[in-house]
Amino acid sequence: MDVLGNKFAYIATYGCQMNSSDSERYAGQLEALGYHMTEDMDMADVILLNTCCVRETAEGKTLGKIGELKHYKERNPKLVIAITGCMAQEWQDRLFERAPHVDLVIGTHNIHKLTELLQVRQGKHALAADMSLPAFHDLPTKRFHKFFAWVPIMNGCNKYCTYCIVPHVRGREVSRPLQDIVAEVKALGRAGYKEITLLGQNVNSYGLDLKDGTDFSSLVDALEDAKGVERIRYMTSHPKDMTKKMIDAIARSTRVVHHLHLPVQSGSNATLKRMNRGYTVEHYLELVDYAREKMPDLVLTTDMIVGFPGETEEMFQETLALIQRVGYDMAYTFIYSPRTGTPAATWKDQIPQEEKSKRLKRLMDIQNEFSLALNKKMEQCVYSVIVEGPTKNDEHHWFGRTGGNKMIIWENDGSVSIGDTVSVAVDKGQTWVLKGHIVSQGG
């Protein structure tokens, strides 16, 4: 706290976009209580770490960060340390045992409890991790961006993939009422937000629990008249619940982007079955072919796991064949690592780390060729881009993204501002980014 009596709060967010959205709601509550946001932990009266536990390596790093906070507590005994998110849900009161300097542990269904816990804590450990509570609450929200906004449409997951801990820490699938989502998106459009991202662990499952015929295609259609919103993105899709009806809705929408992130995870039906993914390679390819038929300009990305327990060389070859068959614009590739609490972690047929690393390199070598080739095809073409600002390491070069979520970097001449919609010509396609120049400004 500074000498003027102002209160400050520091928030660090780990993991997925859903966590980023949750952090905005934590920040909203803190501002309502009179706290100012700061990026300096030394100034903070409240330090909140919003955590992820999808991978044990990430969890280990977070535990290390929590340990470091002990020194801040020693310097400022009145400091309140709050651990929130998926790791908080998983660990619960074990976090107090591991790190007694932590004050609050708040699980994924208890975001709304922050205000109450800060007001009544009285120096004692406080835990809020009841997953029987509603997943969504009407909370003040402090948006971290001026032109880009996250909008949760559902929470939880019913899929129980054998490698994934998300259903255990996010709970069962629960959809927000359609009218609430539409109202939030329209309000954001009126407030000047140009790009909205609809969030859910599995957006294609949206509405199934409502049992009134509402599904993701209903939501896409309902958002068509969200004035002011130039782009609507969505993540993450699941092939099991993606339908042609949903693809049709996306194809006819003038606001939803033609970028489909459709995680396949493996090109082997045997592996997909062991993963409990609920679809076959054949079904997946049928969805891909239909989407490309309806949207010839589709940008397609995916997630893939290599070295899943029991994955033979033949199964891995099937994954490589799938990459070559589909030709993804980009693939987010991961080495399988056992996650405590999931079935796959207990299986005996684990793949040696050296072999997993070799397979990852082989997969990436092929995928990088496709990414480069597809990006080079974009050279000399012009794309509409919403300006996001300077790149991380060079303030003289700015960037934005195409509707297909591809990053374009250009040399900034001072003619544009963050949030402007501009036309950018691609001069050079590289594996990960595009280089270009501005040809016109839309404002």
Residue-wise pLDDT for 308-332, tens only, equals 999 999 999 999 999 999 999 999 9
d(CA 1, CA 204): 45
Q: What is the pTM of this model?
A: 0.93
Do 172 and 280 have their domain in common?
yes
Q: Are 99 and 29 within one domain?
A: yes
In the predicted model, is pLDDT for residue 3 greater than 60? no
Q: Would you say 57 and 21 are in contact if contact means Cβ atoms under 8 Å apart?
A: no
Please state the three-class secondary structure of the chain as a single string.
Answer: CCCCCCEEEEEEECCCHHHHHHHHHHHHHHHHCCEEECCCHHHCCEEEEEECCCCHHHHHHHHHHHHHHHHHHHHCCCCEEEEEEHHHHHHCCHHHHHCCCCCEEECCCCHHHHHHHHHHCCCCCEEECCCCCCCCCCCCCCCCCCCEEEEECEECCCCCCCCCCHHHHHCCCEECCHHHHHHHHHHHHHCCCCEEEEECCCHHHCCCCCCCCCCHHHHHHHCCCCCCCCEEEEECCCCCCCCHHHHHHHHHCCCECCEEECCCECCCHHHHHHHCCCCCHHHHHHHHHHHHHHCCCCEEEEEEEECCCCCCHHHHHHHHHHHHHHCCCEEEEEECCCCCCCHHHHCCCCCCHHHHHHHHHHHHHHHHHHHHHHHHCCCCCEEEEEEEEECCCCCCEEEEECCCCCEEEEECCCCCCCCCEEEEEEEEECCCCEEEEEEEECC
Q: Are residues 244 and 355 in the same domain?
A: yes
Nearest to 114 by CA among 137, 146, 91: 137
- Percent of the chain at pLDDT above 70? 98
Segment 270-295 shows an average pLDDT of 98
Average pLDDT, integer, range 31-39: 95
Alpha-carbon gap, residue 57 to 335, rounded angstroms:
12
Residues 322, 196 share a domain: yes
Are 97 and 181 contained in the same domain? no
Confidence (pLDDT) at 5: 67
Task: Kindly state whether residues 362 and 392 are assigned to the same domain.
Answer: no
Percent of the chain with pLDDT over 90: 88
Q: Is the pLDDT of residue 435 over 70?
A: yes
Indicate if the pLDDT at residue 412 is higher than 80: yes
pLDDT at 275: 98
- Cite the annotated binding site for [4Fe-4S] cluster by residue number: 16, 52, 86, 157, 161, 164
- Determine, yes or no, domain membership for 316: yes
Name the pLDDT band for 393 (thresholds 50, 70, 90).
Answer: confident
Is residue 182 over pLDDT 60? yes
Select from 375, 401, 426 the last residue of a domain: 375
The reply to whether 358 and 431 lie within a common domain is: no
CATH number, domain of 281, equals 3.80.30.20
What's the domain range around 401? 378-436
Mean pLDDT across the stretch 9-32? 94
Is the same domain home to 348 and 219? yes
- Using the predicted structure, report yes or no on whether residue 339 has a pLDDT greater than 60: yes
Is pLDDT above 60 for 443?
Answer: no
> How would residue 283 be classed by pLDDT, with cut points 50, 70 and 90?
very high
228 and 346 share one domain: yes
Q: Does residue 132 sit within a domain?
A: no
> Which of 25-39, 108-122, 187-201, 411-425 has the weakest average pLDDT?
108-122
* 151-174 confidence digits (pLDDT tens): 999 999 999 999 999 999 999 999
Which segments are annotated as binding site?
16, 52, 86, 157, 161, 164
Across the chain, mean pLDDT equals 94
Confidence tier at 442 by pLDDT (50, 70, 90): low
pLDDT in tens, 228-246: 999 999 999 999 999 999 9
Lowest mean pLDDT among 121-125, 189-193, 381-385: 121-125
User: Domain boundary at 73, 94, 126, which?
Assistant: 126
Between 368 and 440, the more confident residue is 368
